[in-house]
Structure 1
Amino acid sequence: MHPSLRLANAHKPLIRFIGKRQWSAKPEEQHPHPFAPPELKQHFADFLKKFQSSPKASTSGSTSSAKKSGSSNGLVYEEFWQAPARYWKRELQDWEIELVQSGGASARP
């Protein structure tokens, strides 16, 4: 078999994409799912108002408001040292490494 003959029959994919791949710069307007129940579609505007007024709707707003309030719910830490020490990375002990390597087969606490 000659290599030049093999190049003549190059693989051609069966799937073809029509048109250019373009996405709009602005996000699509929020709307209920097409198969949502009618009662949910009717109250979707109310849901959007409640969602947009909630502090978790914007990420920058939730971070600053959570840090100011001092509550542990919804805190977002940018660096690990800002979190409590119990969340910091630590060195694993030998028995923890063995437990992971055994797949959890040894039930040593």
Structure 2
Amino acid sequence: MQSTGRLLSEHVHRPLIRFIGKRVWSSPGTGQPHPAGPAKQPPNAKHKSVFQHYWEAPPRLWNPRYHNLEQAEIDAIQSGGASLH
């Protein structure tokens, strides 16, 4: 039993797959602007809009795009469709 353990411990796993190239990625260079991008950033590009309440945001962000649901539709959604029978 000891000889088997010794043989297994001496065996070094060698993967069957071999990768081509370096094992370490080269460091990224300095960032460059995209060639199709604008030449200059507009002055307000760095301004972030922060809202305390959702109604302070522009209506396109919080105004619903669906119609008002009726109470029967809300009940059907909340029950998972079980109340339809």
Report if TM-score (shorter chain) is over 0.5. no
- TM-score, normalised to structure 2's length? 0.36
Larger Rg: 2
- TM-score, normalised to structure 1's length? 0.31
